[in-house]
Every structure is written in C-alpha cells, then in structure tokens.
A and B are shown apart, each in its own frame.
Chain A
Amino acid sequence: MVELLAPAGTREMAFAAIEEGADTIYVGPLGWSRRPYESELTDDEIREVIDFAGIHGKQVRVAVNTYPSPFEEDLFIKKIEQYALWGATGFMLTDIGTMARIRRILPDTIIHVSVGSGITNSRDAQFYRDLGADMIVLPYRWGVTEIAETREITDIGIEVFLFETIQTGKICPGKCIMSSYLKFRDWTEMEGKNYFFGSANRGAKECYRVCQTFWDFTPKNTDTIEVKLRKDACLMLDQIPEYIRQGVTCFKISGRERPTEIIRDLVRFYRRVIDGIMEDTHPDVSDYHPEMEVFQHRWVSEKRKRLGTLMGRADSYAAMGKAASGQ
C-alpha cells in the first residue's frame, strides 16, 4: 500500500483533495503548523474536515510541527489529544520531548517526524524510531542509497515529498532561523496567542522564505551578483517507481498555501501515476513528461506569486516598524 498524502490549507482544498483520490490529507491548526493564518484551519474547520474525510473512508493527519514554547507544552498536548478524539489518525511533530509524550498518551496514533526536525543520517531515523515515531520525511539531499541504508537498520516508514532532491544551496528545514532574525510579526488576533513570539518554527508567525528571494552577494575577485540562497525544487516524477521499489510507503504533495485548483489537479495526476505503477497498468512514467512540464510551469509561477506576497509583507512590516520607532 502506498499512501498519497495531500495538503488541506483550506476546507475547500481538503474537500477537493479527498474527491480527487487522496488517501490522507493533512491540516494545520492556526498558529501551530508553521504557516500563515490563511493556510491554517480553525479547530471547528478541522473537526468538519475530519468528519468529511471519515464519511469518505479517508484519514486526516494534523501538522502540529512547530517547536512549542516551554510555556505552552501542556496546551500543545491537550490540543493534540482533542484532535485524536475527533478522529485524526496521526500527527506531524518536531519537538523530541513532545513526541515522546504523545507516544505515551496515544499509543496507536501515527507519528510523522516533520521535515523540520532536520534529519541528516540514518542514525537520526533510528533515534526517532526509538522515541516511537512511525515515519520520517526523506531529507532534501537524500536519494535511493540513503533510503536503502536507512531501511537496513530501522523499520521506520519513509515519506517522500513529491519534489526532486537538491544537492546545493541553503536547504535546511529545521536548521534555519534567518527569517525571524530579520523580521517577525505577531498574529495574535488571528491565532488567539497573546503570550507568544518567535519564528515560523514556533508557530504564530510566518517564514518569509528569505532563502528564495534575491540577495546581493560579492564572490571573491568579481562583481556583486544577485543570488537566491537555494534553487527552486522541481516536482517529482521519474524517481517515483524506484522509490516504491525501495519501500517508500507515503508520497506527500506539499502546498497548503497554493490555490485549490492546482492542488486538485496535482492530486488527480499523482493518483493516476501511483495507481498505474501499483497496478502495473502504466509502469513507465516517462509517458507523463508533457503533462509534468505543464505542472512544473504552473507550480513555479504560483510559487513566485506566493513569494512576492511574503516579501511584500516583510517589507511592509519593516516600514511599519520604522514608522513606529520614528526613523
């Protein structure tokens, strides 16, 4: 069984993903899942989405992958218990101590180690297995070799983002706080947290994706260049059959912050690709290349729009900050 995991940044996206054949969708509660408020759901919405998925025989996982403040640890656990009671079948988590507590409280729930945990080697996977985690996310720089090496020493599941892995640049989920060093803003009204501060890692704030905007950089002996700190990731296709052979059991479409239309189309597409491989009716994925090219184009253009929005916000907060301090 290979699971197709799809994003639900809104109720509409959740319904669309389920209708198009996602096995499982994931949602993020307001202030607890590293996204701005418009890509997160209220608790009422989460309950509604869980009920809808249940009727269709599908599952809901809840991304609670912020690093909680030590002060909100108990509240964090309480929220998770509540989602489990409503029928959520698993959680994406990062904080080690929280993960250990959840394992004790909810022995049957599925624990995904969020990509924000920053795994770099197979021994990390073993460490998280010892804690009671069920799945790790394939780190951005890994390929089939690392999957095989990990499966040799632990039975933890491997979840793969449907992006091609990248080897260069600053690609460091779980090892980056650049955004909050530069700027962050409270969303307390939206999220009901008035005691809280920090970066996207900690919830309640957004990551401005400063790694994906242009910076001035002066290499040795040359003129200043404009560079992004990392390359754009491409949607994945060609690697899927081999990853399935290597034992990958979960493929995840990311993009809670994208428009519902593109997520709907991607779920439909990847459902077809994965079923074709699993049922052996269409094992050669190269036939999908023309379709993929169109998706890739759409994806990059949506991503640019999104980045423009985030940087625009960061700049406007910077201007507000200056106005407030009289500069």
Chain B
Amino acid sequence: MYELSTDICNMKELRAADISAYDAIYLGEYACPKYPNNFSSHPEQLQQGVELVKSLDKKCYLRLYAVPDNRDLTWVREIIEEAMRLPFDALEVHNMGLLRVLKEMNCPLPIHLGVFGNLYTHVTAKVLKEYGVERVYPNPELSLKEIVYIEENADIDVLVPVHGKIPLVISETCFIVENSDRKPDDCGFLCSEEYWLKRDDWTLKDLGRMTVSGKDLCMIEHIDELVKMGLGTFFIESSHENVDYIGTVGGIYKEAFTAAFNGERVLDNTAWLEQLGAFARMGLCNGYYFEGAGQKYSGGTSVWSNC
C-alpha cells in the first residue's frame, strides 16, 4: 500500500529505537564517516545491522558516504563489497562518481539516489535509471507538483520526506570541530550535543558536516493530499535525533497513513501536532512543498500556520 522508512546511524541506536512503525530502514549516516560505528563507514557493523532489520521483516537499505574524495573511494568500495555479500535491498548513493564505480563493480543491488544527488528534473531521473537508480530523493526545493510530475514522467519511485529536519548543506569538513580546540582526527564526538546557528529570527541546526533546517518539516496536516496525489513512499528524517523521536514520530505517521489509505478521514489531529511540536524546539515548517521558502508553515489548520 505504502512504505514508511527512516534512517538509523549505528547498531546502538538500532537496538534502542522502536522501529515497529516502519516498513524499511536506511542504515548509516551519509555525512560523517567518523560518527561512532556509523554503518556507512564500518563494514564490520553491516551484517548484524541488516540481519536485525530483516528479522523484523522490514526492508533494509544502506546509505553510502555522500561526498567522497579520491581517497575516500577506496574505503567506500570496501563497504560496497561487504554490502554486496549481505541481503541489503538497495544502496543509497548521493555521488555521481560512485554511481559510475558501482556500474563498474557490476553491483546487482538497486540504487536509491540520495538527497544530495541534486535531482530536479525527470530528464535527469531518466539518465540515472541507466545507472541502476530505481528510487530518487528529490532535492528538497521541489514542490509536490514537481515531485509528482517527475514520478509520472520518469516512471521512477520517488521518496517523499514527511517529517524531520531538512538537509540543507553538506560539507567535507566538520564545522563544530573547526570552531573548537579539537583536531579533526580526535573530534571527541562533539556533535553528540546540539548546536544551533542563529541570526535574528533565522535558525539552523548544525550537525558538524551538515546543516539542517532549524524547524522540523511536518506534513501531518496534509496526509490526505499526499495520498490523493498518488505518492506512496514516505520518509522520516531522524538523523541526530534521539530514539524517542524515531519511535514516536514513526508511530504517528503510521497511524495517519494507514487511516488515509483506508479512506478514513482524521478530523482532529491536535494531539498529533502537540506531540510532534514538542520535539521541534524551533517549530514546524512545510519545507518547499507548497512553493514557498522552506521554513514556512503554509496551509493546514494548526497554530503553526502563523510561523
């Protein structure tokens, strides 16, 4: 009927999180290879990760490092080789060079294009299909209308994020370490705490190698619309959130989607909004889905409309 997925970076979080609401899990954190025991950079962690997810009868995808330089390609290749021996359902790739490497390696796994793959058009999606790409995560700047157009005209599966912080920038170096007395090789996992960038009423959250939206994308008031548009592959961004977030947010959206796909109309979503809002320190937004700047909350009935 539909697929709801999220991302989990390492074994510790995978064991701790309640993932019962999800149909599929993206393993790994694609921005920072130094994140402790990150699936994306630790081949020895892959087997137990994929086995746990598959034992719960869910699909399991692996996220590859998004911005590899020439030296990184060596270890990323080792991750791919290990993944090819295991029952992964797909690899997520953000980088065109890696797409080419995967083709050379005759990798039989389906490929999902990651958010930093800069997918803006159906014609690009068509070219990427020749490289084995079966699913794309469109650039967050696209509107729902454009996403639907791409899905129909390129005949490709489109991943639609419905909740969580929007990835805005990825960098090959860590901003948090650069502004500390730590060295890149001994970062002390500074990003385990929260960091915010503020300028007047603008707020961004800094994860070190990535900057994400200050506000949480929230589509809970638009579930029926998404379903009516024919979309069916949904995603919750959980990167650098705590395990409660993964369980609670997933649970809410599962309930909402199940109702919508069964044709039931949810009349009061106040309780959901309150719960989701409680996780969102800087408020909620709708991203770019309704043709406005990403941090706007446009439409819907809730108090967030004034944001």
Chain A residues within 8 Å of B, Cβ to Cβ: 67-71, 73, 94-98, 100-101, 117-128, 130-131, 141, 146, 149, 167-172, 174-178, 180-184, 197-199, 201-202, 210-211, 213-220, 225, 227, 229, 315, 318, 325, 327
Contact A213 B199 (CB under 8 A): yes
Bound CA–CA A188/B127 (angstroms): 31
Contact A181 B295 (CB under 8 A): yes
Contact A198 B288 (CB under 8 A): yes
In the complex with contacts A70-B153, A172-B171, A182-B202, A122-B120 CB distance below 8 A:
no
Give the distance to chain A from B181, nearest Cβ to Cβ, in Å: 9
Map CB proximity to A onto B170-193 as digits: 1 under 8 Å, 0 otherwise: 111101101110000000001001
**Interface: B111 (CB within 8 A):** no
Contact B120 A70 (CB under 8 A): yes
Bound CA–CA A33/B306 (angstroms): 33
Contact A197 B100 (CB under 8 A): no
In the complex with contacts A127-B100, A170-B211, A97-B175 CB distance below 8 A:
no
Which of B43-51, B66-74, B233-241, B259-267 lines the interface with chain A? B66-74
Chain B residues within 8 Å of chain A by Cβ, number = 66
Contact A127 B124 (CB under 8 A): no
- Residues in B with CB closer than 8 Å to A172 are 169-171
**Interface: B157 (CB within 8 A):** no
Name 16 extra pairs, CB < 8 A, besides A70-B150, A95-B118, A128-B96: A70-B120, A97-B125, A98-B121, A117-B118, A121-B95, A124-B97, A126-B97, A172-B169, A172-B171, A178-B168, A182-B293, A198-B141, A216-B198, A217-B179, A217-B196, A219-B180
**Interface: B32 (CB within 8 A):** no
Q: Which of A73, A94, A130, A229 contacts B100 (CB 8 A)?
A: A130
- Residues in B with CB closer than 8 Å to A211 are 169
Bound CA–CA A213/B199 (angstroms): 9
In the complex with contacts A127-B96, A180-B288, A181-B293, A170-B175 CB distance below 8 A:
yes
Give the distance to chain A from B5, nearest Cβ to Cβ, in Å: 22
Contact A215 B197 (CB under 8 A): yes
**Interface: B204 (CB within 8 A):** yes
- Residues in A with CB closer than 8 Å to B140 are 177
> Secondary structure of the B side of the interface?
mixed
Contact A197 B292 (CB under 8 A): yes
- Residues in B with CB closer than 8 Å to A214 are 199
- Residues in B with CB closer than 8 Å to A213 are 199
**Interface: B99 (CB within 8 A):** yes
Bound CA–CA A170/B175 (angstroms): 7
Bound CA–CA A130/B131 (angstroms): 12
- Residues in B with CB closer than 8 Å to A171 are 171
**Interface: B23 (CB within 8 A):** no
Bound CA–CA A140/B180 (angstroms): 23
Contact A177 B169 (CB under 8 A): yes
- Residues in A with CB closer than 8 Å to B73 are 121, 123
Bound CA–CA A131/B127 (angstroms): 9
